[in-house]
Chain A
């Protein structure tokens, strides 16, 4: 029917699965998540999907819609050709739990390894809006993990042990550039978090639903700081002479 939309939804779990067709009615302004909810209500109450705010603010409903990483709650059906089915799969970089839900627990483990904010002591916390703006861009991150999903280092090369991914480089940038923070995370960014593995293809920036300039504003400045600290020949000589 012209007023219906056909969804091809991934149904399955860690052991495997397949795309299954479901037909649900369209309504004005409908987003992919609405259509998935209709499938739950009409055809498959046990269909697993994560969502919360349904307004692009919590970052729960990331998936691959027609192969593109999207937040389902912000993805309008009328942007897709009306006569073609729409496929929805879970994010590929993470292990599938069930249907559209995948296991993103690795991200929470990485986050724990980041040394926390450390407040400058003995000063009145005053700074300008311009200083705030710089870190507020990073703090807009809603942790949808779509950037982690598309990053080649994680998706194709599976370097999860050596590389923390764009989400956490954004978080690290937000801490390193925080006007009141005093901790030094550069050695960790250099080694454990593997910033050198990023080859700035900007896939992360392209998919960010919050339009954070991940590569330009977070990763490249951190790379520059790492290079300054660890690869500047003058500083290196200085360190050798000082015996450090």
Chain B
């Protein structure tokens, strides 16, 4: 094979969104020689699209808030399937991580007395989201980026990792290619941190960018690490539905946090009928009560009224919207209506939701200060991912770490809005810290087998050698449509089995995908390679979904519509163990009594 570059590091971080940047900053600050490898330019990762805010019990707007309440909200939102220790660490450490971000230059919106302002969001008992209008993710990534560039981190931009090497039962580095030149790189490393985000490009309607092709999920799986909770894929209730060009583009939950309400084509606020038993009595029961809550929040008073049911968790709202549309009460283009114009002044809307205003005005010819938005569910977030140790973020493969969306367990069956950005910071830091510690304790770099490098290179170049295959874009579109149809918001055994068959067919077709052109900056080639990750990740989701015979959080089975207490104590684990992929169940670890006690309050 052609020559390739080799670089040696203590720690290689794959992915430069919030988790990857935070991990690299920590690793480097602790003296580890650190590389940060990312598929796009620095600062363009999907974190930039996060809008609503960072959840942290700073208690600036509501003195009754504390980590215990945040922990309870998170567990409840995750339908108690979360790894409790992750949820505990997250709730305890998020405030410190937010303050740290501020000390690195982030400028959050302010309360009247000059502290960080916090907004309401679905599933959070109190206003908890530190935010900057509706561009919190940009603020976070830019702050981390500007901090990171002065830390001596080597950044490899537009560089895609294809394989994690394993030597003597440990992660030993990775194989990658430069997108620009197509040339190969071997990273030798004592520890590898995956921070690659999610898998949303496997679905037709998605809020995710091209990067979200399940890279880290697949890299970990191929290397022999366990995946957990893969059946839980979050559909965000409010994506744009019209025009087709923007179908799936995210509309922040902040619209509802700022007082926006959902209505069907008959003008009904259908969420009043959708409060699940778990949340009985916690939400407003009339429009009058809901409006009082909004007025109190606007005025900065502590609301006496209960919150609007639009602020239920995402799984509940997404299913409710789907039901309205299916039962013929949808909007003209197959969504429902999200109305903030009737509740807030045009000035307030433009101030608090400038991105939303701009996005609708430019792309949909809708003025959200005067008319409602059409919204519908869009594939948004992967709760499942690499199974990690709560303290260290180390996967079941020693030396391989995962943080952020690619790691599983923190959010259980459903993630609360705002808990993602805090997750990135809390566990990004922990992954960087423990990876650096581990790497510095190991005297020498593990060896990498030349044959494995050659095999990875051959595999990467294979699409150029085919003469009779099909276009990778066509195959990708078929995969997305298939997953949406059979492994969407509501599933059943019949559909999931069809999906497995279809995945088999797609896999066969993928073996013949052909790309034209040269090895230089060739997106067709890049996509052809990404298909392998997407197919394996899709299969993991489908198999896990088939095994879990109940409905819980984001996983809804119409053949098993209820939650089941036995299943509520089990995680589904996917691992590579021959063909087909192995799916097993394992019991949740026992929660300490004092945490159990916390779940009873509220």
Binding site for B on A (CB under 8 A): 13, 27-31, 34, 40-41, 44-60, 74, 76, 97-99, 101, 104-105, 108, 111-112, 114, 116-117, 119, 125-129, 131-132, 135-136, 139-143, 175, 178, 180-181
Contacts and interface: CB of A to CB of B under 8 A. Distances in A.
Contact of B48 (A13, A52, A127): A52
A126 B114 CA distance: 5
The interface residues of chain A, by DSSP majority, are classed as: loop
Nearest to B522: A46
Given A58-B49, A76-B363, A126-B114, A52 B40 contact: yes
21 contacts: A29-B243, A30-B244, A40-B473, A45-B473, A46-B522, A46-B523, A48-B520, A48-B521, A52-B48, A55-B249, A56-B359, A57-B48, A57-B138, A58-B44, A97-B521, A111-B149, A116-B105, A128-B110, A128-B114, A136-B107, A139-B132
B517 interface: yes
Nearest to A181: B105
B185 to A, nearest CB: 17
Contacts of B342: none
B474 A117 contact: no
A117 B145 CA distance: 12
Contacts of A180: 102, 105
B525 interface: yes
Given A56-B362, A57-B135, A178-B107, A45 B114 contact: no
Contact of A55 (B43, B103, B250, B525): B250
A52 B209 contact: yes
B355 to A, nearest CB: 7
A54 B249 contact: yes
B105 A40 contact: no
B113 interface: yes
B518 A55 contact: no
A126 B516 CA distance: 57
Contacts of B474: 41
Nearest to A171: B146
Interface string B524-548: 1101000000000000000000000
Contact of A29 (B147, B210, B244): B244
Residue from B41, B149, B242 having most chain A Cβ neighbours under 10 A? B41
Interface residues of B, number: 67
A48 B524 CA distance: 9
B524 A40 contact: yes
A143 to B, nearest CB: 6
B520 A13 contact: yes
Contact of A139 (B117, B139, B520): B139
A88 to B, nearest CB: 15
A30 B49 contact: no
B42 interface: yes
Contacts of A31: 245, 363
Given A29-B246, A30-B245, A112-B149, A45 B517 contact: yes
Contacts of B363: 29, 31, 55, 74, 76
B44 A60 contact: yes
Given A57-B138, A132-B107, A139-B139, A52 B210 contact: yes
Residue from A27, A55, A99, A178 having most chain B Cβ neighbours under 10 A? A55
Nearest to A30: B245
Given A41-B471, A45-B516, A60-B44, A51 B355 contact: no
Contacts of B210: 51-52
B51 to A, nearest CB: 8
Contacts of B146: 111, 114, 116-117
B46 interface: yes
B477 to A, nearest CB: 8
B104 interface: yes
